Structure 1
Amino acid sequence: MFLQLLSYAGIVIGFVFLVLSIASGLYYISELVEEHSEPTKRFLKRLIYTISGIFVLLWLFDRFPFKLTAFSIFSYYVYLQNLNKFPYVNLTSPIFLISCVLVLANHFFWFNHFHNPYIPPLEVRLSPNYEPPRIPTFVEVCSFFGLLVWFVPFALFVSLSAHDNLLPHHVQSEIDKDKKKNNGLAKVVVANIREYVYAITRRCGYELDPHHGTII
């Protein structure tokens, strides 16, 4: 019984360390992207074009469904519009909100495609010329989702930046003046979660913020 409790504690601690590692990685990558925004923009554009081409090849050679393939290519066209004012983003802009919806829709549609593969009617399967469709392996499905469904939205999330109190008509003036340091979208999310955790632990009587109460 004690060993079982110990295993539960190990799972919880391992999960916490995994989340902290991911958050630290996001923060570091966001810092790196802020210093090299132009190369990042070029990389993301080429990546979107490359993945769109891969979808066409999958449709031609692996018999991927045309409608799903066209939907994914359209999604990447919408993702591309986020680069027009890169690395700046308005979190309430239609393009950004539609991109968020498309990410979820892409995941759901492709998951449903792999989870419920099309099975031809019995008379078709009994035909002597019938060739059963190839079932992708677990590694192939994971690679597909990681590279073609999640990678670009994740890269955009890390790369895009948001000003404090940013309004659409202030974008150009803020770029010209350059008086404020831009905060990466991932950094904003990680920082907000960190402050939320600090506030909760502070109410419980623990202080995790090493800079709390100091004047910077």
Structure 2
Amino acid sequence: MFFLYLMSILSIVVQAVFVTLAIASGLYYLAELVEEYTVTAKYVISWTVVITTALHIGLMIFDDLPLHLNALGLIQQTLHFILLREFPVVRVANPAFIAAVATLLLHHYVAFKYFGMVYYNFSEVLAYFTLCLWVVPFALFVSLSANDYVLPTTGEKQPLLGDNNVVTDYLSRKAKRYSLLSFFSFAKDSILPQRNKKAF
């Protein structure tokens, strides 16, 4: 019986590794899609914000969730609309971005407190957190890597321009930024073995 217990612990570790790799590869693929199709990504995220707003209004009308919980969700979706105006550019020092992060944290706190006091099925609580709290911030988080490929798209310095021009300064600042896709690319290059191409 003890050996089977140790095997169950080992299988949980193996399953956690597989789930982590699956999530990482899914995030990598989504980040590449967002970088390739930024206009479509903005369209999808905008409609996700509209649907999430409609869900909050539906919860206010048809369910007995507290008004302040749904009001926080509506404020959060309004801030997401404001952030989408400049998509794919995301400025961390932007007051709308700071307010969106603050309302996300406050919304989590209020939702955990409410669902801790009032009994709901686990599937209902998970549905609220997934659809009303996590979908839009997750989509915006994945789309952060698209910010690195905003015009100008060339990464080369032109020799006719001096070192103190606008384009060179912009490209040198852009090269130092880190994104979700660059993190996953680094992880892929450092973890997975590379094939050596033969030169003929």
Q: Structure 2-normalised TM-score? A: 0.75
Question: Which residue pairs with 1:186 in the alignment?
Answer: 180
The one-letter code of the counterpart of 1:187 is: L
Name the residue aligned to 2:10: 9
Preserved CA contact (<8 Å) 1:68 1:109: yes
1:210 and 2:193 matched:
yes
Q: Does 1:106 align with 2:107?
A: yes
Name the residue aligned to 2:78.
Answer: 77
Deviates more, 1:178-187 or 1:96-105: 178-187
2:157 aligned with 1:156? no
Question: In the alignment, is residue 115 of structure 1 matched against residue 116 of structure 2?
Answer: yes
1:19-61 deviations in whole A, cap 9, x for unaligned?
A: 1110100000111122221122122112212211221221122
Query: Are 1:30 and 1:184, in contact at CA under 8 Å, matched by a contact in 2?
Result: no
Per the alignment, in what secondary structure is the counterpart of residue 84 of structure 2? coil
User: CA offsets per residue over residues 70-110 of structure 1, 9 Å max, x none?
Assistant: 11100111122221221122344333333233222222211
Residue number in structure 1 paired with 2:164: none
SS at 2:65 equivalent: coil
Which deviates more from structure 2 when the two are superposed, residues 58-67 or residues 26-35? 58-67
Q: Distance in 2 between matches of 1:88 and 1:156?
A: 11
CA contact (8 A) 1:58 1:64 kept: yes
CA distance in 2, matches of 1:179, 1:70: 44
2:167 counterpart residue number: none
- C-alpha distance 188-105 of structure 1, shift in aligned 2 (>3 A): farther
Displacement of 1:149:
0.9
* Percent of pairs with identical residues: 31
Please give the per-residue CA displacement for 1:150-191, whole angstroms capped at 9, x wherever unaligned.
Answer: 111111111233439xxxxxxxxx52x221499994313434
RMSD: 3.0
2:166 aligned residue = none
1:184/1:43 CA distance change after superposition, 3 Å: farther
C-alpha displacement of 1:211: 4.2
Give ranges in structure 2 of 5+ residues lacking alignment.
156-170
Q: 1:4 to 1:163 in 2, by over 3 A?
A: same
Letter in 1 for 2:37: H
1:21-170 superposed matches below 5 A: 21-117=22-118, 136-160=120-144, 161-163=146-148
Structure 1: stretches of 5+ with no match in the other structure? 118-134, 165-173, 199-207
Greater helix proportion: 2
The code of the aligned residue for 1:107 comes to H
> How many pairs align?
176
